[in-house]
C-alpha cells in the first residue's frame, strides 16, 4: 500500500470514508473542489438526526440496523452527540397518525401530556400524547463535517482539487456520480433555519401530518432547523414558496411562538438515492462507488465507511455491495 | 374492458405514484397489482426541470399507460399550464384534471373545473376530470367535451370510502354509457369492491396503497377486490329482501323437526 487511495468528494460520505481508512492506517487523499465543508455538498443542508428507529417507519430494515452504529461512531470522532432521544407528536385531528407511526416503529414509549411537559416543557399542554424514542440522538451537521475535515488535515491527509488520472479511487461524489451510476436519482429537499428565543427544545421533534410532515431540530443558542421536503426531482436550487410555506406553517402549528422567529436561512439541495432508497457500494475496476445515502447521510455514512474499510483492509464483502467487478 | 377515449384499459385498477416509501416499492405495487394506468403528479415534481427527471423515467419503465395529473392546481390557468407541460413531458394527450377548490378538503372547484375542461378539450386533450358526484356538474363536463368522469368516493387521502352512496348510484344511472372511475377517498379493498359492484368502470387510488405498511400486498388486495366487485356486477346480483327466503322448500320436507 504505497500510493494513497484517492477519495473523490468531500461531503459526508467522502469525509467518513477518509476518516475510517485513515484510522486504520490506510493512506488516502481527498479530491474536492472546495477548500472547506460547504453548500457544495448536500450534507451541508442535513438535519443531523441520528434517528434509526423513527426512520424505520418508511425505510427498509438495513437503515434501522446500520443506523444504530452512527451515534457511537460520531462520538469517537470527537463530535458532540446529544443523546436526548427524539419526540414524535401529532396535532389533534391527526392523532391516528401517531398510532400508525407507533405500529411501524420500535424502540419508543408512549407519553401523556404530563410526561411530555416533563421532558419538553414548551410543548406541555400542546399535545396530549407523543412517542419518545429514547435511544436516538442528534448532532450539528456542519460542526460534524468541520470536525472530520479538520481531523483529516491534522493527520496530514492531502486535499487536492486535481482529479486523479489513474490509481485506486473511492468515488463519493453523491448526485454528481449520476454520469456513471445510471440508477441514481435526486430527491429534492428544502429546509429552513430559524432563530427563536421563545421556544426551547432539547431533542428533535417530528410533527406527523398526512400532507406536511415536519421535523424541528434544535441546534442550540435558539437556532432551529426545520426540514424537510421530499420531492422527486434532481433540482438542486430554487426553494419554492409552497415548500417554505409548508415548513413554516407546520412549525407554527408545533408552537405558535415560531411565528416570531427570525428566518436565518432557506436551503435546498437534492439527495442522491437509488430506487429502493438504500445506499450502495459498487466496485468497478479500480473505482469503488459509495453512494445513495438518500436522507440518511449522517445516519448511514459511518456504517458505509466501515464496510468500505472492511473491504479494503480485510477483503470482507460489504453487506451493501450490489456490484463487484473489481481488480482492486 | 372499458375504453377511455377509444383505448381499452388492461385493468380496472389505476394507481397513483406519490408517497411510496421508495420507487422500488412503487414498482412492486404495480407489478403485483397488475394496475394498467399510473397517474403522475406533474405540478409538484416539475420544478425547473423538464425532461430527464429520473423519477419520471422510473414511471415510464413501469410499462403502464401514464395519466399525468394536475394535482395541487388551484386555478384554471395553473391547471391548463400544467396540462401543457404534462403533454410535452409524457408525450400523451391524456390529462387527469384536478382544479382544487378548498385547501382543507381538497374538493374540486366545480366552476374552474368546467372552464379548464372546456379549454383543454378544445385544445385536443383527452380530459379525465376529478369531480364530485354532482349530476349537473357531470353533465357540464360531458358538454365541455369530456368522455370520462372521475367522481370522488371521499376527499383525497381520507380513506373514508364511498361517502355518498345515493349520489354515486345516481350519477352511474344518469350516464350509463360514460366510462366512470371512482377517484380518491378509498382506504380499503372492500370499498373498491363496493364501487365496482355499483357498476363503476374502474377505481383510482394512491394513499391507501402507498401508505400501507406493505404497499405491494395492499395493491394486490385492491386488485382482487376490483375483480371480485366487477364479477358481482356482471353476474347480476340478487335483490336484497327483508325476509328470509329459504333456499330449500320447507313445506313437505320429509323430516321436519
Q: How far apart are CA A271 and CA A12, in angstroms?
A: 12
- How many helices (H) and strands (E) in chain A? 9, 17
Angle (deg, nearest 10), helices B23-33 and B215-234: 30
- Which residues, in sequence order, are bridge partners of residue B180? B149
Coil vs helix vs strand at A107: coil
- Which residues, in sequence order, are bridge partners of residue B183? B204
Q: Which residues of A touch B (CB under 8 A)?
A: 58-60, 100, 103-104, 178, 184-186, 188, 210-211, 231-235, 237-238, 240, 273, 275-278
- Which residue of chain A comes nearest to B73, CA vs CA? A242
Contacts of A105 in chain B (CB under 8 A): none
| pLDDT interval class at A2 (50, 70, 90) | low
Grid cell locating B95: 390529462
- Give Rg (Cα) of chain B: 20
Q: List alpha helices for chain A, DSSP H.
A: 12-23, 52-55, 61-67, 70-76, 95-103, 113-119, 141-154, 241-254, 297-314
DSSP string for B130-157? EE-S-HHHHHHHHHHT-S-BEE-SSSTT
pLDDT in tens, B15-50: 999 999 999 999 999 999 999 999 998 866 555 555
Our CA-based measurement puts residue A63 at a distance from the nearest CA of chain B, in whole angstroms, of: 13
Contacts of A237 in chain B (CB under 8 A): 48
B25 close contact with A: CB closer than 8 A: yes
Of B55, B157, B213, the CB nearest to A232: B55
Contacts of B22 in chain A (CB under 8 A): 60, 273, 275-278
| pLDDT interval class at A228 (50, 70, 90) | confident
Coil vs helix vs strand at A106: coil
Contacts of the segment A299-302: beta carbons below 8 A, 24+ positions apart: A299/A49, A299/A50, A299/A51, A299/A52, A299/A55, A299/A63, A299/A66, A299/A67, A299/A70, A300/A63, A300/A66, A300/A67, A300/A70, A301/A12, A301/A13, A301/A16, A301/A17, A302/A16, A302/A20, A302/A69, A302/A70, A302/A73, A302/A74
Of A210, A231, A273, the CB nearest to B44: A231
Our CA-based measurement puts residue A94 at a distance from the nearest CA of chain B, in whole angstroms, of: 11
List of residues 6+ apart from A62 with CB closer than 8 A: A278, A319, A320
pLDDT in tens, A91-121: 888 888 999 999 999 999 999 999 999 999 9
Give the model's pLDDT for residue B51.
Answer: 45
Q: How far apart are CA A262 and CA A266, in angstroms?
A: 11
- Which residue of chain B comes nearest to A57, CA vs CA? B213
Q: How far apart are CA B134 and CA B140, in angstroms?
A: 10
Give the model's pLDDT for residue A95.
Answer: 87
Give me the mean pLDDT over the B138-145 stretch: 97
Whether the CB-CB separation of B118 and B76 falls below 8 Å is answered with no
- Strand pairing class (B126-131; B94-97): parallel
Percent of chain B with pLDDT over 90: 76
B213 close contact with A: CB closer than 8 A: yes
| pLDDT interval class at A166 (50, 70, 90) | confident
Instruction: Specify whether B3 is catalytic.
Output: no
By CB neighbour count within 10 A (0-12 exposed, 13-18 middle, 19+ buried), where does A16 fall? buried
State yes or no: pLDDT of A154 exceeds 70. Answer: yes
pTM of the model: 0.89
- Identify the CA nearest to A301 among candidates A13, A15, A60: A13
Q: How far apart are CA B150 and CA B144, in angstroms?
A: 15
State yes or no: pLDDT of B231 exceeds 50. Answer: yes
- Which residue of chain B comes nearest to A56, CA vs CA? B21
Contacts of B48 in chain A (CB under 8 A): 235, 237-238
pLDDT in tens, A48-78: 999 999 999 999 999 999 999 999 999 999 9
B176 close contact with A: CB closer than 8 A: no
Contacts of A100 in chain B (CB under 8 A): 211
Grid cell locating A285: 475496476
Q: Omega into A228 within 30° of 0, i.e. cis?
A: yes
Residue contact A235–B49, C-beta within 8 A: yes
Report the complex ipTM: 0.87
| pLDDT interval class at B54 (50, 70, 90) | confident
Residue contact B48–A238, C-beta within 8 A: yes
Give the CA-trace dihedral at B26, B31, B36, B41, to 10 degrees. 10
Whether the CB-CB separation of A224 and A201 falls below 8 Å is answered with yes
B45 close contact with A: CB closer than 8 A: yes
Q: How far apart are CA B255 and CA B128, in angstroms?
A: 61
Position of cell 376490483? B226
- Which residue of chain B comes nearest to A242, CA vs CA? B44
Name the helix (H) or strand (E) containing B82.
Answer: helix B76-90
Whether the CB-CB separation of B83 and B120 falls below 8 Å is answered with yes
Question: What DSSP designation does A141 have?
Answer: H
Whether the CB-CB separation of A171 and A41 falls below 8 Å is answered with no
pLDDT in tens, A262-319: 999 999 999 999 999 999 999 999 999 999 999 999 999 999 999 999 999 999 999 9
Question: What DSSP designation does A51 have?
Answer: -
Whether the CB-CB separation of A74 and A125 falls below 8 Å is answered with no
List of residues 6+ apart from B158 with CB closer than 8 A: B185, B187
pLDDT in tens, B179-230: 999 999 999 999 999 999 999 999 999 999 999 999 999 999 999 999 999 9
Say which of B3, B31, B50, B96 is annotated catalytic.
B96
pLDDT in tens, A194-224: 999 999 999 999 999 887 789 999 999 999 9
Residue contact A235–B157, C-beta within 8 A: no
Q: How far apart are CA A25 and CA B206, in angstroms?
A: 51
Of B22, B45, B54, the CB nearest to A231: B45
For residue B166, the Cα-to-chain-centroid distance in whole angstroms is: 18
Our CA-based measurement puts residue B254 at a distance from the nearest CA of chain A, in whole angstroms, of: 56
How high is the mean pLDDT of chain B? 91
Coil vs helix vs strand at B230: helix
- Strand pairing class (B202-205; B13-16): parallel
Residue contact B54–A186, C-beta within 8 A: yes
Whether the CB-CB separation of B1 and B8 falls below 8 Å is answered with yes
Whether the CB-CB separation of A300 and A293 falls below 8 Å is answered with yes
pLDDT in tens, B74-108: 999 999 999 998 998 888 999 999 999 998 888 99
State yes or no: pLDDT of B129 exceeds 50. Answer: yes
Position of cell 428507529? A53
Amino acid at each position: 500500500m504505497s500510493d494513497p487511495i484517492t477519495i473523490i468528494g468531500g461531503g459526508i460520505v467522502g469525509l467518513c470514508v477518509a476518516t475510517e481508512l485513515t484510522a486504520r492506517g490506510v493512506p488516502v487523499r481527498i479530491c474536492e473542489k472546495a477548500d472547506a465543508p460547504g453548500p457544495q455538498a448536500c450534507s451541508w443542508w442535513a438535519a443531523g438526526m441520528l434517528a434509526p428507529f423513527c426512520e424505520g417507519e418508511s425505510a427498509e430494515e438495513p437503515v434501522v440496523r446500520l443506523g444504530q452504529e452512527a451515534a457511537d461512531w460520531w462520538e469517537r470522532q470527537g463530535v458532540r452527540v446529544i443523546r436526548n432521544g427524539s419526540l414524535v407528536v401529532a396535532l389533534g385531528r391527526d392523532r391516528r397518525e401517531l398510532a400508525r407511526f407507533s405500529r411501524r416503529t420500535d424502540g419508543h414509549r408512549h407519553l401523556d401530556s404530563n410526561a411530555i411537559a416533563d421532558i419538553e416543557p414548551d410543548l406541555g399542554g400542546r399535545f396530549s400524547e407523543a412517542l419518545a424514542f429514547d435511544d436516538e440522538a442528534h448532532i450539528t451537521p456542519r460542526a460534524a463535517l468541520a470536525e472530520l475535515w479538520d481531523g483529516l488535515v491534522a493527520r496530514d491527509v492531502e486535499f487536492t482539487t486535481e482529479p486523479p488520472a489513474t490509481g485506486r479511487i473511492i468515488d463519493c461524489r453523491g448526485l454528481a456520480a449520476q454520469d456513471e451510476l445510471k440508477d441514481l436519482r435526486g430527491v429534492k429537499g428544502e429546509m429552513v433555519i430559524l432563530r427563536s428565543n421563545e421556544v426551547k427544545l432539547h431533542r428533535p421533534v417530528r410533527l406527523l401530518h398526512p400532507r406536511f410532515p415536519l421535523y424541528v431540530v434544535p441546534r442550540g443558542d435558539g437556532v432551529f432547523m426545520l426540514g424537510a421536503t421530499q420531492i422527486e426531482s434532481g433540482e438542486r436550487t430554487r426553494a419554492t414558496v409552497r415548500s417554505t410555506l409548508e415548513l413554516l406553517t407546520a412549525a407554527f402549528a408545533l408552537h405558535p411562538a415560531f411565528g416570531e422567529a427570525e428566518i436565518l436561512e432557506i436551503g435546498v439541495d437534492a439527495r442522491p438515492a437509488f430506487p429502493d432508497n438504500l445506499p450502495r457500494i459498487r466496485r468497478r475496476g479500480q473505482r469503488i462507488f459509495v453512494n445513495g445515502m438518500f436522507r440518511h447521510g449522517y445516519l448511514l455514512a459511518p456504517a458505509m465507511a466501515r464496510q468500505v474499510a472492511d473491504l479494503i483492509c480485510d477483503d470482507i464483502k460489504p453487506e451493501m455491495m450490489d456490484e463487484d467487478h473489481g481488480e482492486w | 374492458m372499458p375504453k377511455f377515449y377509444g383505448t381499452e384499459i388492461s385493468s380496472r385498477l389505476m394507481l397513483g405514484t406519490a408517497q411510496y416509501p421508495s420507487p422500488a416499492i412503487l414498482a412492486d405495487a404495480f407489478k403485483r397489482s397488475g394496475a394498467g394506468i399510473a397517474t403522475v403528479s406533474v405540478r409538484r415534481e416539475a420544478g425547473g426541470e423538464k425532461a430527464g427527471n429520473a423519477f419520471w423515467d422510473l414511471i415510464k419503465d413501469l410499462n403502464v399507460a401514464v395519466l399525468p395529473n394536475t394535482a395541487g392546481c388551484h386555478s384554471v390557468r395553473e391547471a391548463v399550464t400544467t396540462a401543457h407541460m404534462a403533454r410535452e413531458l409524457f408525450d400523451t394527450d391524456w390529462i387527469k384534471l384536478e382544479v382544487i377548490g378548498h385547501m382543507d378538503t381538497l374538493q374540486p372547484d366545480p366552476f374552474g373545473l368546467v372552464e379548464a375542461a372546456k379549454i383543454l378539450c378544445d385544445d385536443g386533450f383527452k380530459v379525465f376530470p376529478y369531480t364530485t358526484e354532482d349530476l349537473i356538474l357531470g353533465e357540464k363536463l360531458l358538454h365541455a367535451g369530456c368522455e370520462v368522469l372521475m367522481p370522488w368516493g371521499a376527499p383525497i387521502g381520507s380513506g373514508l370510502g364511498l361517502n355518498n352512496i345515493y349520489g354515486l348510484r345516481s350519477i352511474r344511472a344518469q350516464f350509463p354509457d360514460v366510462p366512470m372511475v371512482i377517484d380518491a377517498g378509498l382506504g380499503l379493498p372492500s370499498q373498491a369492491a363496493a364501487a365496482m359492484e355499483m357498476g363503476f368502470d374502474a377505481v383510482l387510488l394512491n394513499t391507501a396503497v402507498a401508505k400501507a405498511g406493505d404497499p405491494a400486498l395492499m395493491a394486490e388486495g385492491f386488485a382482487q377486490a376490483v375483480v371480485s366487485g366487477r364479477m358481482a356486477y356482471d353476474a347480476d346480483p340478487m335483490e336484497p329482501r327483508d325476509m328470509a327466503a329459504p333456499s330449500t322448500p320447507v313445506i313437505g320436507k320429509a323430516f321436519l323437526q
